[in-house]
Amino acid sequence: MSNLNLTVRVHPVVLFQIVDAFERRNADSHRVIGTLLGTVDKGVIEVTNCFCVPHKEHDDQVEAELSYALDLYDLNKRVNPNESIVGWWATGNEVTNHSSVIHEYYARECNNPIHLTVDTSLQGARMGLKAYLCVQLGVPGGKMGCMFTPINVEVTCYEPEVVGLQLCQKTVGVSNPNRPKTVSPMLDLAQISEASVKLQGLLEQMLAYVEDVLAERQQPDNAVGRAILDLIHSVPNMSPEQFNQMFNSNIKDLLMVVTLSQLIKTQLQLNEKLTFLSTN
């Protein structure tokens, strides 16, 4: 497989850490760089963590605290032994002249390191995300160079991260910037209710699309058709009575677990108060 066929999957926590490092940068720093951590498996580079590396860029050289980067990586390795160095990141919307110098260091730390850029300047009102691989250019025995070639990059999420992102989206639209909007996590049943409403809306959109295609009001899309077919095949074939029975059984189990957890919480609180009274 060609290296250019690699796919980079970035988790949201990485983007949050990069933006946080950019906001905390020194006043004289135009961009921030750091190390990307993650795993590589079958042509997919999954970036799950990162950290900032202090550096200074001059017209003719780059100064980076490499010893600090190595120490921080060793500390992270003790906590997350499965994460290895997969490349490096930088803020900005382009690859600079100093990028090749920094890339040479990471090429010694891992094979085929990727370079990730996050556009914190919001060009086009978006925080652009791009990934590159460095391809060697030149003739044998002659002067060699390198070229940063774009590769596929996408944002992926674990299920807990999806819940966190949905909670963060509810803070959008703050009326008073001086008092940030706070949102409390919802109860389990409230999350199920909200997810059901969203799912119903998506199903209505899908049905409207299918009806428009059948009525020849819209051109069919083969990719959408295959996705709908896979969705239909993934749903178990059962009657409405069987579905209601399964749903009610799961709801009863959920309510029982919630009731038991509340009883345990109350018992622990009573034990704490009784212990406090007995000691005094």
pLDDT over 90 at 38, yes or no: yes
In a domain, 176, yes or no: no
> What mean pLDDT is reported for the chain?
84
β-pairing, 44-53 with 7-10? parallel
Looking at the structure, do residues 200 and 248 belong to the same domain, yes or no? no
User: Can you give the CATH number for the domain in which 104 is found?
Assistant: 3.40.140.10
In a domain, 181, yes or no: no
Looking at the structure, do residues 217 and 91 belong to the same domain, yes or no? no
Looking at the structure, do residues 117 and 20 belong to the same domain, yes or no? yes
Alpha carbon 181 to its chain centroid, in Å, reads 23
pLDDT band at 139 (very low <50, low <70, confident <90, very high): low
Residue appearing with tokens 């498996």: 41
In a domain, 177, yes or no: no
Looking at the structure, do residues 134 and 231 belong to the same domain, yes or no? no
Q: List the domain range (segments joined by +) for residue 104.
A: 3-161
Looking at the structure, do residues 29 and 131 belong to the same domain, yes or no? yes
In this structure, the number of other CB atoms found within 10 A of the CB of residue 106 comes to 20
Looking at the structure, do residues 30 and 142 belong to the same domain, yes or no? yes
β-pairing, 145-155 with 129-137? antiparallel
Looking at the structure, do residues 129 and 199 belong to the same domain, yes or no? no
Looking at the structure, do residues 253 and 221 belong to the same domain, yes or no? no
pLDDT tens column, 223-273: 888 988 888 888 778 788 888 888 888 888 888 998 999 999 999 988 888
In a domain, 167, yes or no: no
Cβ-proximal residues to 47 (8 Å cutoff; 6+ apart), any chain: 8, 9, 10, 11, 14, 36, 37, 38, 86, 87, 116
Chosen domain end from 113, 144, 161: 161
In this structure, the number of other CB atoms found within 10 A of the CB of residue 34 comes to 22
Phi, psi of 272 (to 5 degrees): -65, -45
In a domain, 14, yes or no: yes
Looking at the structure, do residues 61 and 128 belong to the same domain, yes or no? yes
Q: pLDDT value at position 177?
A: 58
Looking at the structure, do residues 23 and 142 belong to the same domain, yes or no? yes
DSSP state of 218: S
pLDDT over 60 at 1, yes or no: no
Q: Around 262, how many Cα atoms within 13 Å sit in the side-chain half-sphere?
A: 7
Instruction: Give CA separation, 269 vs 181, 256, 258, 276, in Å.
Output: 31, 20, 17, 11
In a domain, 180, yes or no: no
Number of domains the chain contains: 3
In a domain, 171, yes or no: no
Across 106-144, the runs of DSSP E, i.e. the strands, are 114-118, 129-137
pLDDT tens column, 140-160: 776 667 788 899 999 888 877
pLDDT over 90 at 87, yes or no: yes
In a domain, 178, yes or no: no
DSSP state of 91: E
Looking at the structure, do residues 219 and 251 belong to the same domain, yes or no? no
Q: pLDDT value at position 246?
A: 85
Q: Name the more confident of 103 and 278.
A: 103
In this structure, the number of other CB atoms found within 10 A of the CB of residue 42 comes to 6
Chosen domain end from 126, 161, 196: 161
Q: What is the pTM of this model?
A: 0.67
Looking at the structure, do residues 157 and 195 belong to the same domain, yes or no? no
d(CA 184, CA 189): 14
What's the burial of 50, exposed, middle or buried (CB within 10 Å: 0-12/13-18/19+)?
buried
**Structure tokens that stand for 247 in this block:** 């749903």
Read off the pLDDT of each residue in 165-173 and give the average, rounded to a whole number: 72
